[in-house]
Structure 1
Amino acid sequence: MTVFKEDKDELVIVIPSDGELHRNTMDFLQECGLQVRPTNSRGYTGTIPTMPGVSVLMQRTADITNKIEDFSADVGITGLDRYLEYKTDDRYVGKIVNDLGYGGCEFVLAVPESWIDVNGLDDLSDLTNEYRQKGLDLRIATKYPKLLNNYLYDNGIYNYRIVAVSGALEAAPAAGYADLIADLTATGTTLRANNLKQIEKGTVLKSQACLIGNPESICNNSNKYDLAMKLIDLIKSNIRAAEYYRLTANVQCDSEETLASLVLSHPDISGIHGPTVSRLHSKSNTSWFSLSVVVSKSKLSECVSQIRDCGGISIAASKVDYLFNAEVVENNQVFID
Structure 2
Amino acid sequence: MSDKLVLAVPSKGRLQENANAFFARAGLTVTTGRGARDYRGALTGVDNVEVAFLSASEIVKNLASGAAHFGVTGEDLVREAQAESKVALLTPLGFGHANVVVAVPQAWIDVRNMADLEDVASAFRARSGERMRVATKYVNTTRAFFRDKGVTDYHIVESLGATEGAPAAGQAELIVDITSTGATLVANGLKVLDDGVILRSEANLVAALGAEWSPAQRELARKILSRIAAEEEARNSREIVAVLEQEPSGLEDGLLAFGAKVRRRGGNGRAIFTAPKAQAPALADWLIGQGAEEVVVRPVDYVFTRVNPLHERLTSRLDAVR
Q: Does the CA contact (< 8 Å) of 2:67 and 2:211 recur in 1?
A: no
Q: Residue 223 of structure 1 corresponds to which residue in structure 2?
A: 216
Distance 1:300 1:206 in 2: 29
Q: Residue 164 of structure 2 corresponds to which residue in structure 1?
A: 170
Number of residue-to-residue matches in the alignment: 315
Q: Residue 242 of structure 2 corresponds to which residue in structure 1?
A: 249
**Match of 2:276, as an amino acid?**
S
Unpaired runs of 5+ in structure 1?
1-6, 280-287
Q: 1:305 to 1:168 in 2, by over 3 A?
A: same
Q: 1:132 to 1:240 in 2, by over 3 A?
A: farther
Q: Residue 110 of structure 2 corresponds to which residue in structure 1?
A: 117
Moved more, 106-115 or 291-300: 291-300
**Match of 1:140, as an amino acid?**
V
Q: 1:241 to 1:300 in 2, by over 3 A?
A: same
Q: Give 1:273 deviation, angstroms.
A: 4.0
SS at match of 2:168: helix
Q: Does the CA contact (< 8 Å) of 2:237 and 2:277 recur in 1?
A: yes
Equivalent positions of 1:275-294 (< 5 A) are 276-279=264-267, 288-294=268-274
The one-character-per-residue Cα deviations of 1:109-148 (angstroms, maximum 9, x if unpaired) are 0111111011111111111111222321111111111111
SS at match of 2:200: strand
Q: Give 1:208 deviation, angstroms.
A: 1.1
Equivalent positions of 1:94-243 (< 5 A) are 94-134=87-127, 135-219=129-213, 221-243=214-236
Q: Give 1:317 deviation, angstroms.
A: 1.9
Q: Residue 263 of structure 1 corresponds to which residue in structure 2?
A: 251
SS at match of 2:297: strand
Q: Does the CA contact (< 8 Å) of 1:68 and 1:74 recur in 2?
A: yes
The TM-score, its normalising length taken from structure 1, stands at 0.86
Q: Give 1:314 deviation, angstroms.
A: 4.3
Q: Give 1:326 deviation, angstroms.
A: 3.1
- Among 26, 41, 56, which residue is 1:32 paired with? 26
Distance 1:154 1:269 in 2: 42
Distance 1:270 1:118 in 2: 46
- Among 50, 53, 67, which residue is 1:55 paired with? 50
The TM-score, its normalising length taken from structure 2, stands at 0.89
Q: Residue 3 of structure 1 corresponds to which residue in structure 2?
A: none
- Kindly report the root-mean-square deviation, in angstroms, between the aligned alpha carbons of the 2 structures: 2.3
Q: Give 1:59 deviation, angstroms.
A: 0.4
The one-character-per-residue Cα deviations of 1:219-246 (angstroms, maximum 9, x if unpaired) are 3x11111111222222233233332211
- Among 3, 10, 18, which residue is 2:12 paired with? 18
Distance 1:229 1:252 in 2: 42
The one-character-per-residue Cα deviations of 1:152-196 (angstroms, maximum 9, x if unpaired) are 112211111111222222211111111111111122222222221
Q: Identical aligned pairs, as a percentage? A: 29
Moved more, 111-120 or 18-27: 18-27
Distance 1:264 1:89 in 2: 42
SS at match of 1:163: strand
**Match of 1:266, as an amino acid?**
G
Q: Does the CA contact (< 8 Å) of 1:15 and 1:77 recur in 2?
A: yes
**Match of 2:98, as an amino acid?**
C
- Whether 2:276 is the aligned partner of 1:299: answer no
Distance 1:99 1:114 in 2: 37
Q: 1:333 to 1:321 in 2, by over 3 A?
A: farther
Q: Residue 78 of structure 1 corresponds to which residue in structure 2?
A: 73
Distance 1:89 1:194 in 2: 33
Q: Give 1:271 deviation, angstroms.
A: 5.3
Moved more, 241-250 or 7-16: 241-250
Q: Does the CA contact (< 8 Å) of 1:218 and 1:225 recur in 2?
A: no
Q: Give 1:319 deviation, angstroms.
A: 1.9
Q: 1:231 to 1:218 in 2, by over 3 A?
A: farther
